[in-house]
Chains A and B, each alone.
Chain A
Amino acid sequence: MTSAIIELQSTQVSLSGLLAVLGEHLYSTPNVVVRELVQNAHDSCMRRRLEAPETAGAGRITVRAGAGALTIEDDGAGLTHDEILAYLATVGSSYTRQLREQTGDAMLIGSFGLGFLAAFVVADRVTVHSTSYRSPDEAWIYQSHDGQRFSLRPGEPRAIGTSVRLELKERFAAIASEGALRTLLAHYCALLSVPIFVGADPAPQNTEVPWRSAPAGESALARRSRRLAFAARFEHQFEPLCTIDVEPTPGCDVRGLLWIQSGGSYGTSDHRNVSVFVRGMLVDHDARKLLPAWAGFVGGVFESEALVPTVSRETLQTNDAFQAAAARIEDALVDGMSALARDQPDAWQRVVTRHNEALLGAALGHDQLFDLLADHLRVPTTEGDLPARALRERDAEARIYVGMDAQGDFEEMLCRALGVPLALGYRFAVLPFLARWCQQRGGTLVRLGTGDGDRQVFQRATLSDADRSWLAGALALPDVELCPARFSPPELPVVLVANRDAELKARVESDETRKRLSGAALGLARLYTARITEAARLRLFINLDSPVIQRLIAAPRPHRGADQAARMLGALARLQGRGAGTADSYRAALAATMDIVGALVERDDGLNRGE
């Protein structure tokens, strides 16, 4: 076995086909190659610890880069001549997998054959130097361009371990940068137990994993900083504000760290950032679905043996274990937020302030979170962001008014008249949050501009036929349904409100709609509108609690002043709302007001002249 050149064809699969698949689909990022080779090196170190604990050295992996080449070196078990033949030469065979099955050691991660094969996707030539602990006096050099044909020859004696050198294809040369390797390894290999060095760096890229060990007598402060520092390795866009431990439970082995991000969020922002390690190796750096949808401001890093990587080993399978892990993580997050509120009020205040809007949505799906957040969150209103309690306190009837449309009709005007803020129900989560808040904390939610809301505000009342017909004439609003009612404040005599049902009926039953909508669909739509009886598209609520209205009704008839005043009120109603009427009717109302003002001046002119 001197310098014989051995040539072999893989007997298991057609390598060129597999390489093409790996290159094009599975190993979409060349970084994965580094990951796979470091993983092999790690497995080798673990194997030496298991099989030859008495010979094990310090146990370290060193990754070097330069001149278009990359070297991964370990002081692990090394490979004998036969092992090289058996494992490097045979794709898909995996000694480490067999070993794991025998020993159950979760720290052995590799699928050696496949991992090694990945090297040929990025390299023109792969050279392996190896000395096995079983035959420490021998050294072997494996070399191949494509993984299918290779040479194997003895080399100069060297320390136990393996070194893999990749001479990179030109388009992958960028991997051979120590800076890039540091970033990559600090992230991908953060949870491996064997220290991994880049070049001549004095410190390894992987540090202690905070949840695996706790220094004796560690203070709460030190404990927090260690976790924050670890979280910061995985959170590049934001700073972690605080961290939450995730501990394994009998049904779920997931453990790790959650953190809340410093960056502000709005309701639907999704900055979920989740890294998942399976057997110490990062297999999914975007497993955001492990976090609930409401947690758009949360990051996490987890490890688990139960989660199963997909074939590409870059994502996770969405199986039962994944669902169980997601449920466990949500529980841990909610419990952790409760603990934060209790133990670190200052940090909690920051979280609540920065993520107010997202938390409004979060509170909806979770009873425990709702209780925790209900009194801390603010909702947007016409007077700025206010807590629900403040909204309720402003109204003598403990009502909270919500408007559903930014282009609202009378809603804002009514609230101004009442001197209360109007919650902006068209903003994220405002309406369901307030509905739930009122249900749990007391108070009445009034959705202005809806049938129910309007009924709550305008308590229908009755008026004699004579009064009604006089008002109808005097108000001069022919297209409007008069609705006598009682409402606050008494200073507000009339409010004009659109009748959406009547609007819909008019539209659906118009010729225009008939032309556009097919027969059967139109039939279904008209089944509904046939039941709508009101015809007027606008309603005028007349406030019988208003002293002005009371005087108008009480005035003897005919009464020119009352007629003019009523006409002025009709015009005022038109002018108040934004949506209630067309531009023409708005201008007509303005003109009517001006007429009456003019008439008043003329009358006083007359009085002054003694007419």
Chain B
Amino acid sequence: MDIWRWFSQECERLDDAGHGAAAATLHSLVNALGESDHDRVDAVFPEALQIARALGNPWLEIFARHWNLQSRVFGRLHGTSVLGEAVALVEFAHRDGHHDCPQAVCTVQDLAACYRNVDGPGYAEERLEVTRETLARIDPSWPCYRCVGAQHAEALEDLGRRDEAARFLADNRARTVEAGRTLADRATDTEILIRLGRADEAMALIDGWDPSGKADRDLVAIQRARTLALLGRIDDAVAALPALGEIEATPGHYERWVDGVARLIAAGRMPNDAAWGATVRRFVARTRHEGTQFPAFTLAVRGVELAIDRGATSAAARDLEVLRRIQRERRFPERAQPEIDRLAARLAARIADGPADPAAPFADDAALAADAAASRDPEHRLAVLESGHARWPDSERVALALAQTLLGLGFDEDAEAVLRAYRARHPHEFAPVSMLGELLLRARRDADLEALATPMLDGPSPSDGHFLLGRLAFVRRRFARAVEHFAEVLERNPDAIMTRVMWASAARQLGDFPTMLARLDELLERMPEEQPLHWDRMVAATLTGDWDKVRASAAAVGMELDGTGPIDMPGPLCRIRFQDSRGGNPDRWAVRNGPVTARIVEPVPEPAPQHYDDVVVFDAAPLDLPRDDGDSDADDPANERPPTFAAVAVLRPGGYRTFVVDGPHPGETAWHELGERLAGLGCRTRVQSGEQYRLFADEAELPAIYALVSIPSATALADVHAALADEAEDHPFPLTWADLAAAAGDDAAAIEHRARLRRYEAGEEDPESA
């Protein structure tokens, strides 16, 4: 069964049934995978699944879920994190009416591959059996024949039967070719040959491999680089190996790519340094996170070996610890023991050869910390701080520096352990707890952070507990709760700075400007030179009407403002960005009339949000992205734009509502009279159309006018509606103001005006006059 033929027929059927978009979505899922664009897979998959379900087509559901798993199991190397879905899909694909789906076979392979990620050798017997069963049901004319064959060979490899795997694959290739099919994916074939050192055969397969997308292209390049390295063609291998940035999003490449780099390191063409160690550690962490214990294990083995090779014994020892943790999570931990013992022995030998205790030369912890801080090699720093920490276990500075260094190298678990152990000895010191809190916040381990902080509320320093809980609430934007904790902190620790900064910011988010001002005042008493705080205080003080403070802060940032009371000075144009609760971020032209205030001068007709003549308080940091210097437009004065600021709050609403008046020009005199009359009602009128604006009536093209009328809140809309109607009464081609008529409650007029405007625009006869 050819799944692609089935799929394209299915898509044709969808097209014919008017579901072209559904077909495009399914195609897009497969294409995204071919391009290693896993973000796009995640964007498309939920929709593809929903489409299949809405169409009541379980085969398409199997298709979508299978390709999602392909991205996760093969592309992103997920393990236990997708095991549930892999099992669920196998079950779904074998229900009544589903199991004839051409991809039902593939779902079993997804499950087997998922177990390969979880623990390849641990589940090798089961995988061998599953693939054997499947191979017995299909023949070389199926595309699955290659795919299942590759998995069979991988299971053999995981059982240590590499030569058998190679023989099996050679036979599989021969039968495939005999059946008239091409050898598309050659990853496992080349993998086994490379591991066997059979470079020429591997290269022959690579040369005939035609990659169809980025995923394949990177894979071919990695296999080529490794094979070239095997052949001793190191320059060519360096040129062939893709850069880290190309493969980082596709963990399915990690093991092979790391092997490629290791070969180039062995050939002296790439540095074996701390940065490289951190890269491998990141790969290990990422695969472990998805429950992919087997690739994590093999990557970690590489990490330990290379760390030993470069003499980074401290890092190697910690990498070895990580390896032991992974070992414990494997199905048969004891089977990995010889490998662990081998590495431990190598490490011990290296340590025995290495220099003496790095902490020995230092007189005290301060000298050691200073020396470590000066080192540019983080693995050296680690070694020094580690032995310093052993010698001065109560030195806070050494403990913190050690934790920081561990974080930088990717040993997050170890950093956490150092901080927790230190805290157990020194429960009153805040800095380690604060660092631990940040670590947990960054990892989004909110429950762990609460578990750390909550008992502190009843301990000797409840203010520290409140700080942590307040910070958690603040970062997660639960501002009301954050403020409660901040109040508790300040009650016990009146000079706290960070707490006040966060409180001021939380108060602003809550719209509590007097509190925001109070906290900023307190901060400025302690740090009078902090310019950003002055700008924030101007925002708060403007909103609370505390003009003296606005002037004082303006002076502090170099703006001398005369007078007293409200500030309203002529300023330059700017744009103000509002946040519309319905979405959108409408920008309006405005004139700045104070350090952090502006008056909106741009009327925009309803139903757009009405801001005309509002005086708004804005955040003084401009929103505009900085221009890059290479931009040719930058020199053109026509392209110079005033800055855009984010509105914080409306200080004084303008209260105007703006509507469109549109239609054939009534003549200068009549227009002038109308303007006078509207002005008498307090309205402001602005003509938007130019000389060229034309509408049609009686088959003639007439000069026309498009104007905006802004009506103050004190004026009844009905009065303006009546004034316009009055002026229009005798005109053969009257103006229209449909939205205003509707807002004034005259629905009949609104309908009539809309119809009339359509006729003016289209040049159609007026059915009534005809």
Chain A residues with CB under 8 Å of chain B are 219-221, 266-270, 293-294, 335, 338-339, 341-343, 345, 349, 353, 360-361, 364-365, 372, 375-376, 378, 385-387, 389-390, 392-393, 396-398, 404-407, 425-433, 442-444, 500-501, 504, 507-508, 513, 516-521, 523-525, 527-529
Contacts and interface: CB of A to CB of B under 8 A. Distances in A.
B478 A267 contact: no
Contacts of B582: 386, 390
Given A293-B32, A385-B583, A504-B87, A428 B478 contact: no
Given A426-B50, A527-B126, 9 more contacts: A267-B25, A268-B25, A269-B24, A343-B633, A385-B583, A443-B477, A517-B91, A519-B129, A524-B111
B585 A375 contact: yes
Interface of B: 21, 24-25, 27-28, 31-32, 35, 37, 39-40, 42-44, 46-47, 49-50, 53-54, 83-84, 87-88, 90-91, 94-95, 99, 108, 111-112, 115, 123, 126-127, 129-130, 132-134, 475-478, 480, 575, 579, 581-585, 587, 624-625, 627-628, 631, 633, 636, 638-639, 641, 644
Contacts of A516: 94-95, 99
Majority secondary structure of chain A interface residues (helix, strand, loop or mixed)? helix
B583 A387 contact: yes
A315 to B, nearest CB: 15
B39 A398 contact: no
Contact of B641 (A219, A343, A397): A343
Contacts of B638: 219-221
B480 to A, nearest CB: 7
A268 B30 CA distance: 12
25 contacts: A293-B31, A338-B625, A339-B631, A339-B633, A342-B624, A343-B633, A343-B639, A345-B575, A345-B644, A349-B584, A353-B584, A361-B44, A365-B39, A376-B584, A385-B583, A392-B477, A396-B478, A426-B49, A428-B43, A428-B44, A443-B476, A519-B129, A521-B108, A523-B126, A525-B91
Which of A342, A360, A429 has most chain B Cβ within 10 Å? A342
Contact of B583 (A378, A507, A508): A378
B40 A361 contact: yes
B547 to A, nearest CB: 30
Contact of B478 (A341, A353, A397, A429): A397
B476 A406 contact: no
Contact of B126 (A293, A339, A520): A520
B599 to A, nearest CB: 19
Given A294-B40, A504-B91, A442 B476 contact: yes
B108 to A, nearest CB: 5
A516 B108 CA distance: 12
Contacts of B480: 396
B123 A398 contact: no
B32 A376 contact: no
Contacts of B50: 405-406, 426-427
Given A269-B21, A521-B111, A426 B31 contact: no
Contacts of B42: 364, 429, 431-432
Contact of B123 (A339, A349, A524): A524
B25 A342 contact: no
B35 A267 contact: no
Contacts of A392: 477
Contact of A342 (B43, B476, B581, B627): B627
B641 A442 contact: no
Contact of A270 (B28, B46, B54, B644): B28
Contacts of B49: 426
A237 to B, nearest CB: 15
Contacts of A268: 21, 24-25, 27-28, 44, 47
Nearest to A378: B583
B14 to A, nearest CB: 13
Q: Which 7 A-B residue pairings sit nearest by Cβ, starting from the closest?
A: A398-B477, A429-B43, A520-B129, A426-B50, A268-B28, A364-B39, A520-B130
B43 A361 contact: yes
A357 to B, nearest CB: 10
Contacts of B130: 518, 520-521, 524
A262 to B, nearest CB: 19
A328 B31 CA distance: 21
A405 B31 CA distance: 24
B47 A398 contact: no
Contacts of A393: 581
Contacts of B108: 518, 521
A572 B104 CA distance: 40
Nearest to A345: B587
Nearest to A510: B91
B133 A504 contact: no
Nearest to B22: A268
Contacts of B40: 293-294, 361, 364-365
A323 B27 CA distance: 22
Given A293-B31, A342-B624, A390 B39 contact: no
Given A293-B31, A342-B624, A390 B583 contact: yes
Given A270-B24, A389-B579, A365 B37 contact: yes
B339 to A, nearest CB: 24
A342 B641 contact: yes
A41 B37 CA distance: 44
A521 B480 CA distance: 53
Nearest to A392: B477
A529 B46 contact: no
Given A365-B40, A397-B478, A525 B111 contact: yes
Contacts of A385: 583
A376 B83 contact: no
B32 A267 contact: no
B115 A293 contact: no
